[in-house]
Amino acid sequence: MAEKKKRLHMKERSVAERIRDFQEVPLGYTPEEAMEEAKRCIQCKNPLCIKGCPVEVNIPAFIKLVAEGKFEEAAKKIKETNALPAICGRVCPQEEQCELKCIIGVKGEPIAIGTLERFVADWERSRLQPSPPNPLSQSLDFARDKRERGNPRFRGMSLLNNNKIPYYPSPSGRRVHSQY
């Protein structure tokens, strides 16, 4: 019989580093680690993990995309029902919700669903162009366009001598330019 793969736990920063700042302790997965952890998922026909998720993320579908290395598609799949995957991947108590329902967790350690969700959100954020949440994407684009074409006082940028110089509106309506 094939040996069962064990859950990959996130690496953490050393204590010597952590005592000097307030940065996050866990480092998250690398793409290779995320793909390896995602390959542990058995793609249940009746996935109970979805029922354990308060926002009903299609967990098997996004995990399958992570296992295939399709991180951008995985982010879009998560955002179909969850607009804040980076936050949920960090603060949602997965071990009491979706991971508790994971079939693999009956005889071993469940899939690290929250850690994979965090990885996908962090990967997308590192690309600097996150996809908008699905239901609001058109209204967000409209608001951005209005802001970019609207009154320069609300744009936060002024074009002087072809240079972008940030400014802040003052109560008198005059532009106050910053030095930075």
Residue predicted with more confidence, 110 or 145: 110
* Residue 10 CB neighbour total at 10 angstroms: 15
pLDDT over 70 (residue 89): yes
Could you report the per-residue pLDDT of 23-39, keeping only the tens digit for each?
A: 888 888 999 999 999 99
pLDDT-derived band at 61, boundaries 50, 70, 90? very high
Could you report the per-residue pLDDT of 124-179, keeping only the tens digit for each?
A: 988 856 556 655 444 445 555 555 555 554 444 444 434 455 555 556 656 555 55
Task: Give the pLDDT mean for 77-98.
Answer: 90
Q: How far is CA 159 from CA 22, 147, 149, 163, 173, in A?
A: 37, 15, 13, 6, 17
Question: Do residues 113 and 102 make contact, with C-beta atoms less than 8 angstroms apart?
Answer: yes
Percent of the chain with pLDDT over 90: 38
Domain topology for 11-135: Fumarate Reductase Iron-sulfur Protein; Chain B, domain 2 (1.10.1060)
pLDDT given at position 27? 86
pLDDT given at position 64? 96
pLDDT over 50 (residue 59): yes
Domain boundaries, the chain: 11-135, 137-177
> Comparing C-alpha atoms, which of 121, 147, 138 is closest to residue 34?
121
pLDDT given at position 166? 54
Residue predicted with more confidence, 70 or 177: 70
pLDDT given at position 9? 85
pLDDT over 90 (residue 119): yes
Residue predicted with more confidence, 175 or 69: 69
pLDDT given at position 67? 96
Q: Is the pTM value of this prediction over 0.75?
A: no
Mean pLDDT of all residues in the chain? 78
